[in-house]
Amino acid sequence: MDDNQKKILSKIAMTIRGLSMDAVQKANSGHPGMPMGCAELGAYLYGVLLRHNPKNSKWMNRDRLVLSAGHGSMWLYSCLHLSGFNLSLDEIKRFRQLHSHTPGHPEYGLTDGVEATTGPLGQGVGNAIGMALGMKLLGSKFNQKDFPIFDNKIYCVAGDGCMMEGVSSEASCFAGHLNLNNLVLLYDSNHICLDGPTKECFTEDTKKRYEAYGWDVFEINGYDFDEMERVLGGLQKKQDKPTLVIVHTVIGKGSPNKAGTSKVHGSPLGKDEVIASKEALGIPLEEFYVPDEVKKYFQNRLSQDSQLETSWNEMFKKWANRNPDRALQFDRMKSYYLPSDLEERLKAIEIKAPIAGRAASQEILQTLGKLLPQLVGGSADLSVSDLTMMKDYPIIAPLNFSGRNIKFGVREFGMGTICNGLSLCGMFQPYCGTFFTFSDYMRNSIRLAALTPYHVIYQFTHDSIFLGEDGPTHQSIEQLSSLRAMPHLNLIRPADSHEVRMAWIAALQYKGPTALVLSRQNLPDLKETQVSFKDGVGRGAYIVKKEKKKPDFTLFSTGSELHVALEAASLLEKQGKDVRVVSMPCWQLFEKQDAAYKNTILGGDLGKRVAIEAGTELGWHKYIGIDGIAICMHSFGLSAPAQELAVEFGFTAEAVVKKLIG
């Protein structure tokens, strides 16, 4: 690298420092330390290394950079603004302000050029690994000799906190197993975390840990452009394994009184320290100053970036003309193709009842796998139990990415973040499975999927006390209420194989995350649920048994308890009671219905309202009223056969009737 280029990169680095200091100070909130410490790294990545097109931030074959250390968002925003993404200087000045495009932590879909929603530390590592896996899958499917449709790289910038969080270990171990040699993890190693020096809490040999995972590891000086070019430029040309690059930096570099300390991690420098830092660094005191040389450099770079995509588009057109069948599959994956007769196809699947919800879903998956080329997924070491395997397709393996089944291993949280990354590729419909109780392990990845939102489907099985003998450690009690409380997550608990079919339609149509909550135990098919998607599950709640005149009782239920509610209604009618029964598989879909429809379900005198569900009652009183009866769980479960637990906890038709009329 010649001296002139190093000179302009140094000026870019100083501009990143200046913008970051000013934005954090103006907001009186933020984390200036990482942007100041990693300014040279940002200058090299956005000024030299990344192959992308800021004028089309969604170009399919772009290099992608995920900032896992999302608290350092001003580093990313400064880089995006300078390199020509649609992020104005006015937005930089509005850092952390209401409705700005520069929120405190990066949010995918809000800010042009942000590749993933990050902030909860470590998850960006998993997102990047999901992207790297996705690009390997796409390359295996579409690349041909002379047509490298997908040959991009995934970069991730992480800090000490990301390295400490267990999710990065889960995901990194998985990446090493699959030898994802299109992934570069840049570890900003500055020996400082929010609470003080890392020597007080984090003294492992990270290099050895990653070597044990099967990664290559390099170390560079974070202020030496020649070392960056030698290592990172070299990896761009040839990379054999997933690679960790430990970048040695000084947090808050340039601050005379706070550099190298935790004082610069999570608080503004202070007006006087900003002035002192700019004077020490030779940065003009003008706020939000961008030198003309920096502007000109990136304007010239933009034309090169645009040409990269133009050349790729020309290659893609030639490839598509020679491979019309593959091009059709490409288009279907990119558009998240759903056949117009999907409901009819799913209804035609022969499923013999009684059958567990998990087993019905597995049968449906076999058909969906053939229909939807974008569908890919797997399980956290439970595919033989949560039944998530697509039997006609191979398991993805090291150096063999032709499969569509993923064995995530016992890594629930990592699995969730990787599926988010797969969703971010823009070509996949990822799904993943585990026992419902273990959704707690992966909860924060589900939360980010809901926040953004990412189109991920979760197949959660063993959904209640009725999994039986494994006992209360595995029996879900509070998880239904907990996940229902999460905005933008559709939770669907189907009652039989027909509702499972319809639940899959809802999940595939919804452009956000869906939790399918399925039984371990066999369930009968119910004639009352045999209605169309638009009249049944698609509404979130619907009447499965209508009263004759005026109900004495209205029973609301979901999942495996719906058949109990119907049986109880029959017993009540024999005793002269009039009963309505409502299946309510998805509260979120029901809440989206218009007032008129809601009134058909909830309006008028419905008699005594009763909820029957083997989970906590939290949330049910919105529908059954303060005086409603909640036949729910009020404790953890017990280890016993499912039939005995039904009697013990009152989930039999006879017990329901006794509860209601004695």
Q: What are the residue ranges of helices labelled H in 387-463?
A: 412-424, 443-451
Judged by phi (left if over 0) then psi (alpha if -120 to 50, else beta), residue 251 lies in beta
Q: Are 188 and 159 in contact (CB under 8 A)?
A: yes
Residue 519 CB neighbours (<10 A) = 28
**Is 200 among the catalytic positions?**
no
**What is the signed CA dihedral for 52, 53, 54, 59, rounded to 10 degrees?**
-90
Query: Would you mind telling me the total number of residues written for the chain in this entry?
Result: 662
3 state SS for 267-322: CCCCHHHHHHHHHHHCCCCCCCCCCHHHHHHHHHHHHHHHHHHHHHHHHHHHHHHH
Q: Are 35 and 254 in contact (CB under 8 A)?
A: no
Catalytic residue among 229, 412, 528, 547: 412
**What is the signed CA dihedral for 361, 447, 588, 468, rounded to 10 degrees?**
50
With vertex at residue 58, the alpha carbon angle to CA 56 and CA 62, rounded to the nearest 5 degrees, is 90
- The token pair that represents 171 in the structure block: 């995901």
Cα–Cα distance measured from residue 125 to residue 66, given in angstroms and rounded to the nearest whole number: 8
**Can you list the pairs that 280-284 forms with residues at least 24 positions away whose Cβ atoms lie under 8 Å?**
280/254, 280/255, 280/256, 281/14, 281/17, 281/18, 281/254, 282/14, 283/14, 283/15, 283/17, 283/18, 284/18
**Can you list the pairs that 113-117 forms with residues at least 24 positions away whose Cβ atoms lie under 8 Å?**
113/54, 113/57, 113/76, 113/80, 113/85, 113/86, 113/87, 114/67, 114/76, 114/80, 115/64, 115/65, 115/66, 115/424, 116/66, 116/420, 116/421, 116/424, 117/70, 117/448, 117/451, 117/452
* Catalytic site positions: 412
